[in-house]
Amino acid sequence: MKFNPPLRLAELAAFLQAEYDGDPDFLVTGMNEIHMVEPGDLTFVDHSKYYDKALNSKATTVLINKKVDRPEGKALLFHDKPFDAFISIILKYRAFEPANQQVSSSAEIGEGTVIQPGAFIGNHVTIGKNCIIHANASIYDHSVIGDHVIIHSNSVIGADAYYFQHRPEGYRKFESCGRVILEDHVEVGALCSIDKGVTGDTIIGRGTKLDNHCQIGHDTVIGQNCLIGAHAAIAGVTKIEDDVIIWGRVAINKDLVIGKGAVILATSAVDKSLEGGKTYFGVPADEARKKWREIASVRQLPDLIAKMR
């Protein structure tokens, strides 16, 4: 998430009631998780295991729960509960806005776009030209839809990330302040769910097509001209490169990379990153020819065991 206008370090420290180390006028231009930060961003760290990673990341402001030496060119904010402080920033600068009409007056809708009856368009949504948003589709706040996009009925674009921190008293929700971006010529089937990024963006690349009942997790980036079959479930922070084909009921774990031109056959489950240009099958997924040979070998086991008796 970007701050418009940027925040001063001293201003942010006062809001959080936190001590700081750095120039009071040091600018914080946005906030992001550690794996997605860029210069100008604020990130947080609350475990010693990750201190070095955060302090040496591209983030230029770090919210941390221990007094440490400030790296050159960066600013530090000291808070006993960095996670809670980070969430409080989100709640202040990207607060939930209740809707008061079916299509928000703050939404920008391009020429030639058709919004069917019953569709919901949230606050600060941008929709390009010549799109079709079918009945009962819901596009949540801050989503960005390109030109010539089709979204079928009962799909939800921009639901919150499924992201919680375990506490002794239960789970603390990591409030989502990211977006969903659908690039030009994307088609989303009926009853799909595409979750917004936690602090970054979930992106579906130009020309990609989703069948019905697909789930796309937070901060996932899907490349151009991909095909994703019905009931596919792709967990968060996964990268799908261009021209990938994912057939029906495929499950893909989080934080993986699926290489350009890979094909994953139906009902497979992916638990590791896959090279591009190959076909995969099985649970866990492996190269299809290898998996089929394994299946054929297993089928021979009862006869082999019988002959040994």
Catalytic (active-site) positions: 218
- CA dist 110 → 105, 134, 149 (Å): 14, 16, 11
